[in-house]
Amino acid sequence: MTISIWRYSHFALAISSFIFILLATVTGIILAFEPISNQLKPYAITNADDIKLSTVISVLQDEYDEIVSVEVDNNNFVKASVFTFEGDSETFYLDPNTGKKLGELEKKAPIFEFATNLHRSLFLKSTGRFLVGLFSFLLFLIAITGIQLIVKRQGGLRKFFSKVVKENFEQYYHVVLGRWFLVPIVIITLTGVYLSLEKFDMLPASKMEHIETVEKQSKEKLELSKFKIFNDTHLDELVTLDFPFSEDEEDYFILQTTSGEFYINQYTGNVLSEAKKPLVSQLSYWSLILHTGQGSIVWAVVLLLACFAILFFMYSGFAMSFKRLAKGSKVKNKFTKDTAEYIILIGSETGHTNKFAHQFYNALLDAGNTVYFSTLNQYHSYKEAKHIIIFTSTYGEGEAPRTAKSFEKLLPTIQQANSIKYSVVGFGSLMYPDYCKYAIEVDEWLYNHPNFEQNLPVFKINNQSFEAFKNWIIQWNEATNQDLKVVLTKPLVNRKKLKSFKVASNSGLNVDDTFLIELKAEKKLKFQSGDIVSFYPEDDNIERQYSVAKVDDSILLSIKKHEFGKCSTLLSQLTVGTTIKGKVNRNLDFHFPSYAKEVVMIANGTGIAPFLGMLNETNKDIKTHLFWGGRTKASLQLYASHIENATQKSYLDNFNVAYSQEQETKVYVQDSIKANETLISNALKNDGVIMICGSIAMQNRVLEVLNTITTTILNEPLSTFENNEQILMDCY
């Protein structure tokens, strides 16, 4: 079954049972507090498996004239019905070790009474009970379809618990919490269904069949505390013990335990007859315990958390669906398919690709072009088209996403009037072995099709990176001689929340127009190398981010000044003592992995910045390698002192530099990586971590080389190590 069918089923089930599940969950939250509060009361016994029934009987015999019954309820409270020496009849909770009364029997609190009725039957008697059973079953199906969705998303059952790609808050925690709470939710729902079936007598008959036992030889009268069965039974097994009604030998003890029922001679202690609890009753008992959390504070807390998780799933599920609909691929086309020169076709499963395609569509329109926007499923003939631009994600295991499923069949059946230039942009994730596979296939089909001519090679974008998208726009502009602009629309920053940073040093520009600037936060600030600092120049308020190195509690940034770059120009001109406002965001995915035995850092240009700080965080026991690519020897001067310092302290074991302009044959950082394939494969094999920081173009080249190394030397695709969190990236 394809992922869309699972998603639709999951969504349809959730929609159809929303109100009932909401009611059941809210009342479930209230009810989870009942066993918790019960377990905090002094009546609950914690060491029931240590206390023998015979002990309880002896202490009760000392304290009272006559015992009628002893009972342990589902809360682990021990109850006794007795006659006192004064002739009064009493029933109370007792301390099983002393026989002393601990308190009167308590009635269920009205709030729990109310919540129980609502939870069990919605105050609708049998109809309500039926509905609750039905919706419990639907919730079970939602959980099962959810498991299937996670398996598909993670790329197989084996990767069920591997790293989850974070697309947004709702999606991330829907999956993460889903993985942790699926088991409790399946248990809650199955036990709920079972209890409903029981109420409707839909379970097989469960009468206990007594079998008389051959009476033991001994007819000797024994004290109760010497009865073997009372010594063998502990309180964790006891349900009730009813004492004989009279002293007549025909009257006997009736002992009910969690496993069965026994009739016991009141003088000899011999078992007269016994019956095993049928499986159906045992399942009913465990269903009740597991569904209500009675008797266990830990399980009751798990149930409580599972109820909160269900509420979160409802919120996040609807939020995701709403966002997906809002991101819909519909655009009000200004031009028809036969009048537009530019045709944008998208393939998307969950709508993330659409925002990039919309930006490109608007940029083309703003530049005065005629554009038509549609999906790959609606591929047609286009009379005036000169360019087709395809934006498509990859789903399942390298398959077409939902809005591209029919494209492969349609393509050979439709003839275009003119030769059309095409460009394919693939959206995918390096966490999957078939990275952007569908986009690559589309590119191949068009390449081999007589109507099409390649304008740009297929371009792959990892995890919806906007920086990578901007890089593709640059390539597009160069290839088509255009100047399209795309901006990532971000909410405006609240300037009052920004922090002040004072410039402690500024190296000035080097031969590559690059500089190092050191900033000190004016107020105390917690940060680490690899975190991100953002600045918002006042004239456009657009966010600019830089990767941070922490050196002596200062923020060290390495920045390239761009000719028309507002922020890089502003920063390059800051003198010592002046201040700038910004904020630091934690970037937990790119912190130094101090748990690893070996770390390989790979960077080009200013991407070296976070590593300059991390070289202070490593130690002699962690093998640390740095691969850096720059233009010339002079480019390295800016960082030389930091690298020498780390080498002297033995924090850096090996520094490998690749210059692209120093000699005739250009050497790039990916070439150094290729030349050191044994070092790289050994590091990965020994659970080492590879960190990559720098340009997207460098990242793509390096990843290709790494993939070749892992597949040829280690027989594993790079995605295996990516899933293992052994590849950390921060590229722009």
The residues that touch ligand FMN, with contacts defined as CB under 6 A, are 3, 152-153, 348-353, 393-398, 401, 427-429, 432, 434-437, 464
Q: How far is the CB of 312 from ligand FMN (least distance, A)?
A: 19
Give the nearer residue to ligand FMN in terms of CB position, either 163 or 649. 163
- Pick the closest to residue 591 from 677, 528, 659 (CA basis): 528
Q: How far is the CB of 437 from ligand FMN (least distance, A)?
A: 6
Give the nearer residue to ligand FMN in terms of CB position, either 396 or 582. 396
Task: Give the helix ranges, DSSP H, for 122-261.
Answer: 125-154, 169-199, 228-232
Taking phi first (over 0 means left), then psi (-120 to 50 degrees means alpha), and beta for anything else, what does residue 305 get?
alpha
- Pick the closest to residue 727 from 694, 703, 701 (CA basis): 703
Give the nearer residue to ligand FMN in terms of CB position, either 17 or 393. 393
Q: How far is the CB of 349 from ligand FMN (least distance, A)?
A: 4
- In whole angstroms, give the CA distance from residue 358 to residue 379: 18
- In whole angstroms, give the CA distance from residue 472 to residue 439: 15
Give the nearer residue to ligand FMN in terms of CB position, either 165 or 509. 165
Give the nearer residue to ligand FMN in terms of CB position, either 396 or 613. 396
Give the gyration radius of the chain's Cα atoms.
36
Q: Could you write out the DSSP letters of every residue in 510-552? A: -TTSEEEEEEEESS-----TT-EEEE--TTT---EEEE-EEET
For 372, counting Cβ atoms within 10 Å of its Cβ (0-12 exposed, 13-18 middle, 19+ buried), the class is: buried
- In whole angstroms, give the CA distance from residue 556 to residue 728: 21
C-beta nearest to ligand FMN: residue: 428
Q: How far is the CB of 374 from ligand FMN (least distance, A)?
A: 15
Q: How far is the CB of 427 from ligand FMN (least distance, A)?
A: 4
Q: How far is the CB of 379 from ligand FMN (least distance, A)?
A: 17
Give the nearer residue to ligand FMN in terms of CB position, either 252 or 432. 432
According to DSSP, residue 580 is labeled E
Give the nearer residue to ligand FMN in terms of CB position, either 39 or 353. 353
Which strand (E) or helix (H) includes residue 440?
A: helix 437-447
Residue type, 648: Q
Q: Characterize the bridge pairing of strands 554-560 and 514-521.
A: antiparallel
Helix (H, G, I), strand (E, B) or coil at 114: helix
Q: How far is the CB of 173 from ligand FMN (least distance, A)?
A: 15
Q: How far is the CB of 355 from ligand FMN (least distance, A)?
A: 9
Q: How far is the CB of 719 from ligand FMN (least distance, A)?
A: 9
The residue assigned the tokens 């020169």 is 341
Give the nearer residue to ligand FMN in terms of CB position, either 191 or 348. 348
Give, in degrees to the nearest 5, the angle at Cα 505 between 503 and 510: 120
Give the nearer residue to ligand FMN in terms of CB position, either 3 or 718. 3
CB contact at 8 A, 115 and 27: yes
Q: How far is the CB of 327 from ligand FMN (least distance, A)?
A: 8
Q: Which residues share a beta bridge with 556?
A: 518, 549
- In whole angstroms, give the CA distance from residue 563 to residue 358: 28
Strands (E), 361-480: 371-375, 387-393, 420-428, 452-462
Residue type, 583: K
Q: Characterize the bridge pairing of strands 252-257 and 260-265.
A: antiparallel
All residues at 6 or more sequence positions from 254 whose CB lies less than 8 Å from its CB, including other chains = 240, 241, 242, 261, 262, 263, 264
Q: Which residues share a beta bridge with 598?
A: 623
Give the nearer residue to ligand FMN in terms of CB position, either 437 or 642. 437
Q: How far is the CB of 171 from ligand FMN (least distance, A)?
A: 8
- In whole angstroms, give the CA distance from residue 225 to residue 167: 66
Chain Cα centroid distance, residue 684:
25
Q: How far is the CB of 321 from ligand FMN (least distance, A)?
A: 13
- Pick the closest to residue 552 from 526, 584, 520, 574 (CA basis): 520
Give the nearer residue to ligand FMN in terms of CB position, either 437 or 544. 437
Give the nearer residue to ligand FMN in terms of CB position, either 270 or 393. 393
- In whole angstroms, give the CA distance from residue 399 to residue 321: 22
Q: How far is the CB of 347 from ligand FMN (least distance, A)?
A: 8
Residue type, 258: T
Q: How far is the CB of 641 from ligand FMN (least distance, A)?
A: 41
Give the nearer residue to ligand FMN in terms of CB position, either 140 or 438. 438
Give the nearer residue to ligand FMN in terms of CB position, either 253 or 395. 395
Give, in degrees to the nearest 5, the angle at Cα 206 between 204 and 207: 140
